[in-house]
Amino acid sequence: MRRHGVLTAVLLSGAVAHADAPPPAADASVRPAASSSAALAAQMALAQQIVLHGSPQGAHECAICHGEEGQGKIKAAFPHLAGLPKPYLERQLKHFDALARNNPSMQAIAHKLDDAQIAALATYFSRQVPPPIMSPVTPPPALGEALALRGRDAIPACVTCHGPGGRGLGGALSAAFPPIAGQPAVYLERQLRAWKNGQRPAGLDGLMGAIGKRLSEAEIVAVSQYFAAQPTLAATVATEARP
Amino acid sequence: MSARSAFRSAHTLIAIATCGVLSACEQAPQGSAAPLAAASAAQPARPVAVAFAPPPSSAIPDDAFGVVVRQGEALFRNTPAHAPQYTGNTLSCRNCHLDAGRLADSAPMWAAWVSYPAYRSKNRHVNTFEERLQDCFRFSMNGKAPPSGSPALVALEAYSYWMASGAPTHAVLRGAGYPRLPKPAQGWDYARGQALYTEHCALCHGADGQGLLVEGKPWFPPLWGPQSYNWGAGMSRLDLAAGFIKANMPLGNGNSLSDQQAWDVAYYIDSHERPQDPRYLGSIEATRRQFHDGPYETYGRTVNGHLLGVGSGVSGGSTVTQAARGRTTTTLRD
């Protein structure tokens, strides 16, 4: 498992260029300036401490729910954080802290993190490799696929912003429109309902809020199942990689 | 003549008349809408429109007719792939007619189908639907008009006809064309448009307006430059561009900009070079006088010291190649 993770990390570092998520640590040999890598190492160490043991201010350890490497827990509908763009993760933690995003556990946790800790945690998780495969057995409903790939009326196809397969478009685009592939279906549903009910900040230019408002309950369930069944970037890169 | 085309020609006649009376049409429209006052005041209200909803794509019949309808839809969604011989840029019909030609207020094909044949001031005769399709190939797609009766046109006609199933013919359907916005109180302005573009549009369309390719495929369309619509296209007119933008952009959040903002950002986009008007008469001035004399034209006007209409790239039918320009993401493998 770990070896597979490292292999994928190396492949990823060649193929991925998130603006704020430089290649994962496995590729440390080609990292440039020593001073910036020292700063990075300090950030990673700070984050790891919180991930495994919680923060001195009393924030719970992230690992209990999201896993040590941010792999998430499908059954409990805890999202994976690994490989999500750093600015996106930072933004979410600040939204929880400001009570703009509605989840009591995460609100309490984010409230006990300062800006430096948030930056360190966002850096740490953005540099982990997303879980390779998180897909359920039953094929996703046709309604979900239609919405994801074609859209409906004034709802653009989800992949327009979230990238092919929901894997993101990279760089600044992924920071604004995060990858959504392979997240637990129940988690995705909860987010879409939050937008429908005006309980999550609407995202860049109000784009995701405007879309969530127009989705029907049946569409929310179907499209969530569709994206939950899509392989993450890591999984795709690993399977497509040629020797 | 349908109510709609009557409306259109009335609108055009007034615009022409105004141009004759005022010298305003000779001047760059930047910063002032005053010259438009007479035309707008006299503009007739749009005739009452009939509500209509097209059938879902899943209802396309599974027979020989349905096969051609589906070909039309495929061509509409990805034009360079299905009609490369008639396409001169990386655009597809769906880029300007959203939800594959189904969305109201983005000139949907079901509403177009029932309004032709119609008189058009652009070429001063009654156009068939087929000729209207050819026009979008020649100008919006910067390509070549497919010959009358060619499979590409038959497929697009079948698709449009099918989407209009049950619609009253010779009628104005609600959501037809792009909305016509009232004239802007503050005219239009390049700097305001540029600021809006940077804030609301650049992430997807690129700071340089060249759009985005993903896995080598057009993803976000270019808004100017060699791979965009040419100077003869409807979108190069400020009133049409502003109406489209107001109703449909930023993507997924239409009608979030004010009318004023839509005019400003339309002016910014149409103040950039694009392929030459295929009707070019040998000089920008002559071409402007013949085809671009209206108040909503930027062709042949000087903006920021640059005379627009020089043209960029090849005009008319350079087929799209793998080398099609655009930003590419590094995230995705080829």
Alpha-carbon distance values, B134 to A52, A231, B274, B303 (Å): 64, 42, 20, 31
Please confirm whether the linkage preceding B295 is cis (ω < 30° from 0).
no
Asked whether residue A95 falls in the same domain as residue A146, the answer is no
Report the distance separating Cα B3 and Cα B118, nearest Å.
Answer: 10
Report the distance separating Cα B157 and Cα B131, nearest Å.
Answer: 11
pTM: 0.88
Where in the sequence is the domain holding B66, given as residue range(s)?
57-177
Collapse the DSSP code of A183 into the 3-class scheme (helix H, G, I; strand E, B; otherwise coil) and give the result.
Answer: coil
Helix boundaries (H) for chain B: 3-21, 37-42, 64-77, 79-82, 98-101, 109-113, 129-138, 151-163, 190-200, 202-205, 238-248, 259-269, 284-291
Contact partners, residue B71, CB within 8 Å, separation at least 6: B82, B151, B155, B158, B159
Asked whether residue B139 falls in the same domain as residue B198, the answer is no
Contact partners, residue B162, CB within 8 Å, separation at least 6: B55, B60, B65, B69, B72
- Residue predicted with more confidence, A208 or A242: A208
Residue ending a domain, choose from A93, A111, A130? A130
pLDDT at residue B324 tops 90:
no
* Dihedral over Cα of B146, B147, B151, B156: its sign: positive
Mutate to test the interface with A, among B110, B328, B331 (most CBs of A within 10 A): B331
Q: The domain spanning residue A176 has which CATH number?
A: 1.10.760.10
Asked whether residue A162 falls in the same domain as residue A96, the answer is no
Give domain status of residue B324, yes or no.
Answer: no
Bridge-based pairing state of the strands B306-307 and B118-120: unpaired
Q: Which of B108, B251, B93, B246 is nearest to B177 (CA)?
A: B108
Asked whether residue A45 falls in the same domain as residue A122, the answer is yes
Asked whether residue A230 falls in the same domain as residue A138, the answer is yes
Give domain status of residue A111, yes or no.
Answer: yes
Name every chain A residue with its beta carbon within 8 A of the beta carbon of B203: 172-173, 176, 204
Q: Which residues of A touch B (CB under 8 A)?
A: 15-18, 150-156, 160-161, 163-164, 167-174, 176, 204-207, 210-211, 233, 237, 240
The closest CB to that of B250, out of A172, A174, A205, belongs to: A205
Name every chain A residue with its beta carbon within 8 A of the beta carbon of B251: 156, 160-161, 207
Judged by average pLDDT, the poorest of A6-20, B240-254, B287-301 is A6-20
Domain count of chain B? 2
Return the bridge partners of B118, or none.
B127
pLDDT band at B236 (very low <50, low <70, confident <90, very high): very high
pLDDT in tens, A178-231: 999 999 999 999 999 999 999 999 999 999 999 999 999 999 999 999 999 999
Output the pLDDT for position A133. Answer: 62
Mutate to test the interface with A, among B76, B204, B244, B253 (most CBs of A within 10 A): B253
Give domain status of residue B136, yes or no.
Answer: yes
B214 touches chain A (CB under 8 A): yes
pLDDT band at B1 (very low <50, low <70, confident <90, very high): very low
Q: The domain spanning residue B151 has which CATH number?
A: 1.10.760.10
For residue B252, the distance in angstroms to the closest alpha carbon of chain A comes to 6
Give domain status of residue A66, yes or no.
Answer: yes
pLDDT in tens, B154-169: 999 999 999 999 999 9
Asked whether residue A161 falls in the same domain as residue A216, the answer is yes
Give yes or no for a contact between A101 and A198, defined as CB atoms under 8 angstroms apart.
no
Report the distance separating Cα A126 and Cα A70, nearest Å.
Answer: 9
Asked whether residue A168 falls in the same domain as residue A215, the answer is yes
pLDDT band at A14 (very low <50, low <70, confident <90, very high): very low
B256 touches chain A (CB under 8 A): yes
Output the pLDDT for position A29. Answer: 41
- Residue predicted with more confidence, B6 or B263: B263
pLDDT at residue B36 tops 80:
no
Mutate to test the interface with A, among B60, B201, B332 (most CBs of A within 10 A): B332
Q: Which residues of A75-93 are buried (b: 16+ CB within 10 A; e: fewer)?
A: eebbbbbbbbbbbbbbbbb
Give domain status of residue B64, yes or no.
Answer: yes
Asked whether residue B172 falls in the same domain as residue B268, the answer is no
Tokens, residue B284: 């920008």
Contact B331 A15 (CB under 8 A): yes
Report the distance separating Cα B334 and Cα B331, nearest Å.
Answer: 10
B117 touches chain A (CB under 8 A): no
Report the distance separating Cα B246 and Cα B262, nearest Å.
Answer: 5
B99 touches chain A (CB under 8 A): yes
Pick the residue from chain A with its C-alpha nearest to B106.
Answer: A154
pLDDT at residue B262 tops 60:
yes
pLDDT in tens, A35-77: 789 999 999 999 999 999 999 999 999 999 999 999 999 889 9
Pick the residue from chain A with its C-alpha nearest to B102.
Answer: A153
Give domain status of residue A13, yes or no.
Answer: no
Q: Tell me the DSSP string of B107-176.
A: --HHHHHTT-SEEETTTTEEEPHHHHHHHHHHTTT-S-PPPTT-HHHHHHHHHHHHHTTTPPTTS-BTT-
Domain count of chain A? 2
What value does the mean pLDDT take over residues A16-22? 37
Asked whether residue A153 falls in the same domain as residue A97, the answer is no
The closest CB to that of B256, out of A151, A156, A206, belongs to: A206
pLDDT in tens, B61-103: 999 999 999 999 999 999 999 999 999 999 999 999 999 999 9
Contact A163 B251 (CB under 8 A): no
Contact B330 A16 (CB under 8 A): yes
Residue B23 DSSP label: G
ipTM: 0.83
Give domain status of residue B214, yes or no.
Answer: yes
What integer best gives the mean pLDDT of chain A? 85
For residue A108, the distance in angstroms to the closest alpha carbon of chain B comes to 32
Residue ending a domain, choose from A80, A109, A130? A130
Contact B251 A204 (CB under 8 A): no
Report the distance separating Cα B131 and Cα B125, nearest Å.
Answer: 11
Where in the sequence is the domain holding A107, given as residue range(s)?
40-130
Output the pLDDT for position B313. Answer: 78
